[in-house]
Amino acid sequence: MPILNVTDRDGSEKQVDVTMTESLMHVLRDAGYHIAAECGGAAACGTCHVYVDEAWLSKLPEAGEIEAEMVDLLEETKPTSRLSCQVQMDDSLDGLKVTLAPEE
Amino acid sequence: MEATLDTVTEQATGPRLEDLDQQYYIDLDLAEESVRQNGIQHMRDWAKRGPFYCNRRGIPVVVCGRYADAQEVYLNPDVYSVEMPPIPGYEIFDFFGGLKAVAQMDGADHARIRRLMMPAFMPAGVKALEEATAKIIEAKLDAIEANGDTFEVMSDFSGDIIGHVLLGAAFNLTPEQQNAFKRAHDSFGLIMGLAPGEPYPQEFLESAGALQQVMMEILEDRRKNPTNDMIGKMVHARDNDDKLTDEELFGQINAVCGAALGTTATSIATALLNLGRHPDQFDMLKADPSMTDMAVTECLRYQSTGFFTFPRYATRDTELAGVKIPKNMVVLASAQATNYDPAVYDKPETFDIKRNPQAIMTFGAGAHHCIGNRLARMVIRKSLEQMMARFPNLRLADPDFDPVYQGMFGEMAPDRVPMQTN
């Protein structure tokens, strides 16, 4: 069962068991994190923004065009920014480290 | 060209009431005024039942009010498209009077236009409008204060705030140009009550024509004199291949106005109405305005603009939560009903500004999630903050006030919300 390492907006860290193959956004939500993701996973609202640990960034499939454009339009972006609704969880991401970006 | 037998038989048709499984049919015409006046009760019921058939002026529609059902509709545009099939009678569902609008496109066309509009509605674009919005609100509050201790929210405050923000501050239009937009927008209501096949009224056609003329002037001006306002940016979208045509620009700007003007005015009014009807919650917010963002979300959940988002149309025979939906059927997802779904919200009928719900569906979901949601939230938040700061004793004139609702099809705009400032 893959493990996800999450740093919340207040800096607190936790390990989350990933029980299903679903998007990172759904995993974070199921674990009780406040992720608005109002568009439900269509990369249309930019409210599921996370920073992926640098060491893990290259292990994720690259962001698609729509996701990349949406991320560019957020204010608190970093080179490691991703929309969690566009990151599909699977066994290859066991140990993935992410930090929740500020809500905007 | 003369119609041949082939073209006649190929004409698309919608489903017939008598062909639908009657166990899912409710004898309800959504266009009936009683549906609007009892809208909240209807939607609290829809939130607990699966998709069901009913009709609008005899046209069969399927309504879904549970969160999961509506989300399935919103997230699957290949099955539930916003593009209207050419079926006689369906024109009463066309919010834009035949203009090509981004809210009624799917796929590549939609993605291309939405990405050009997006920057103006994202955090930086919305922040850039905050100062102008604050000034517009201050001027309204000055007028209210000068006028005595009572005021009416729709006519004295919320009615045209977003109009000033969007048309004045964001689009940088002259007062005459703004009036052309307002006149055309007001006339949208005229086509909403039409029966299938009934012609568009003269005022609708005239105001749309006048707006088109004004719009062409504006576009010509922005081409000659590049500006940094929202229209200027859309006209000068950098990538040449992505440039919008005049018709597309007109359609999009019209759609933005159509989607924003009435909805935001209503949402400000219903926010004040429900805070006023829950004085304990209102007092809590006045004592700690840092909760305003959270309170705005609860206000938007509890009661916002009305029943439905833009209609979807089934692109093929399908099934939603066990209910068959034939190809071409009108699918009405009730965003507001999903806010009352007990599977998602604990005690959904309770107004609780500390609820902090995760993902309300008031703004829809999927690729058509309301592009203006940040702008709307900002304008509502500033309205509440500035109003509470100016009038600490703000309350409903009658704490149990129940408005009469009005508006276009699916809308629940209060006719008035009388308040007391002192």
pLDDT at B172 over 50: yes
Closest CA to A64 of A47, A78, A43: A43
Q: At what angle do helices B246-277 and B373-390 cross, to 10 degrees?
A: 40
The amino acid that residue B32 corresponds to is: E
Mean pLDDT over B206-225 rounds to: 90
> Residue B241: its pLDDT value, please?
61
8 Å CB contact of B358 and A44: no
pLDDT at B7 over 50: no
* Domain coverage including residue A45: 3-100
The complex's ipTM works out to: 0.93
* Residue B45 to residue B207: CA distance in whole angstroms: 39
SS3 B7: helix
8 Å CB contact of A35 and B75: no
* Residue B106 to residue B101: CA distance in whole angstroms: 10
| Cβ neighbours of B71 in A, within 8 Å | 40
8 Å CB contact of A39 and B122: no
Residue of A nearest to B297 (CA): A36
pLDDT digits (tens, 9 = 90+) for B349-399: 999 999 999 899 999 999 999 999 999 999 999 999 999 999 999 999 999
> B95-99, B256-260, B268-272: which has the highest mean pLDDT?
B268-272
pLDDT at B342 over 90: yes
Q: How many domains are contained in chain A?
A: 1
8 Å CB contact of B119 and A35: no
B10-14, B115-119, B391-395: range with lowest mean pLDDT: B10-14
The amino acid that residue B139 corresponds to is: A
Residue B7 falls inside a structural domain: no
Residue B330 falls inside a structural domain: yes
pLDDT digits (tens, 9 = 90+) for B129-143: 999 999 999 999 999
8 Å CB contact of B358 and A35: yes
Q: Which 17-76 residues of chain A touch chain B by CB within 8 A? A: 29, 34-42, 44-46, 66, 69-70, 73-75
Q: How confident is the model at residue A13 (pLDDT cuts 50, 70, 90)?
A: very high
B4-8, B216-220, B263-267: range with lowest mean pLDDT: B4-8
Q: How many domains are contained in chain B?
A: 1
pLDDT at B243 over 90: no
Q: How confident is the model at residue B99 (pLDDT cuts 50, 70, 90)?
A: low
Residue B322 falls inside a structural domain: yes
Beta bridge partners of B60: B55
> A75-89, B113-127, B189-203: which has the highest mean pLDDT?
A75-89
> Residue B200: its pLDDT value, please?
84
In angstroms, the Cα distances linking B188 to B255, B257, B394 are 11, 11, 33
Name the residue facing B118 among A35, A40, A73 (closest C-beta).
Answer: A73
A79-88, B71-80, B203-212: range with lowest mean pLDDT: B203-212
Contacting residues for B415 by C-beta, under 8 A, at least 6 apart: B154, B403, B404, B405, B406
Query: Would you list which residues of chain B are within 8 Å, Cβ to Cβ, of chain A?
Result: 71, 74-75, 111, 114-115, 118-119, 122-124, 356, 358-361, 363, 365-369, 373
8 Å CB contact of A38 and B373: yes
Is residue B231 within 8 A of residue B252, CB to CB? The reply is no
Q: How confident is the model at residue B10 (pLDDT cuts 50, 70, 90)?
A: low
Strands B52-56 and B25-29: what pairing? parallel
> Residue B76: its pLDDT value, please?
97
8 Å CB contact of A70 and B118: yes
Which residue's structure tokens are 């006028």?
B147
Mean pLDDT over B273-284 rounds to: 98
| Cβ neighbours of B309 in A, within 8 Å | none
SS3 B406: strand
What CATH number corresponds to the domain at position B259? 1.10.630.10
pLDDT digits (tens, 9 = 90+) for B16-63: 999 999 999 999 999 999 999 999 999 999 999 999 999 999 999 999
Name the residue facing B358 among A29, A70, A74 (closest C-beta).
Answer: A29
pLDDT digits (tens, 9 = 90+) for A32-91: 999 999 999 999 999 999 999 999 999 999 999 999 999 999 999 999 999 999 999 999
Closest CA to B79 of B319, B302, B300: B319
Residue of A nearest to B375 (CA): A104
What CATH number corresponds to the domain at position A38? 3.10.20.30
CA distance A36 to chain B (A): 5
pLDDT at A19 over 90: no
> Residue A1: its pLDDT value, please?
78
* Residue B313 to residue B326: CA distance in whole angstroms: 10
Residue A48 CB neighbours (<10 A): 29
8 Å CB contact of A74 and B373: no
Contacting residues for B225 by C-beta, under 8 A, at least 6 apart: none
The string of DSSP letters for B227-271 reads -SSHHHHHHT-S-GGGPPPHHHHHHHHHHHHHHHHHHHHHHHHHH
In angstroms, the Cα distances linking B46 to A29, A81, A101, B307, B341 are 26, 39, 36, 11, 9
φ, ψ at B226 (rounded to 5°) = -55, 135
> Residue B96: its pLDDT value, please?
67
> B77-91, B188-202, B218-232: which has the highest mean pLDDT?
B77-91
* Residue A101 to residue A84: CA distance in whole angstroms: 10
B109-118, B208-217, B335-344: range with lowest mean pLDDT: B109-118
Chain mean position to CA B157:
19
CA distance B364 to chain A (A): 7
| Cβ neighbours of A73 in B, within 8 Å | 118-119, 122-124
Is residue B269 within 8 A of residue B276, CB to CB? The reply is no
Q: Give Dmax (Cα) for chain B.
A: 72
8 Å CB contact of A75 and B367: no
Query: How would you label A26-46 residue by residue, b for 16+ Cβ within 10 Å and e otherwise?
Result: bbbbeeebebbbbbbbbbbbb
| Cβ neighbours of B75 in A, within 8 Å | 40-42
Is residue A47 within 8 A of residue A34, CB to CB? The reply is no
Residue B295 falls inside a structural domain: yes
Mean pLDDT over B309-328 rounds to: 97
* Domain coverage including residue B170: 13-420
φ, ψ at A16 (rounded to 5°) = -120, 135
Where would I find the H helices in B130-193? 130-146, 153, 161-163, 175-192
Residue A98 CB neighbours (<10 A): 24
> Residue B273: its pLDDT value, please?
98
8 Å CB contact of A40 and B359: yes
Residue B5 falls inside a structural domain: no
More confident residue, A73 or B197: A73
Which residue's structure tokens are 């963002």?
B293
Share of chain B above pLDDT 90, in %: 68
8 Å CB contact of A73 and B360: no
Residue of B67, B105, B115, B297 to mutate, interface with A, max A Cβ within 10 Å: B115
DSSP state at residue B293: H
Closest CA to B262 of B126, B371, B406: B406
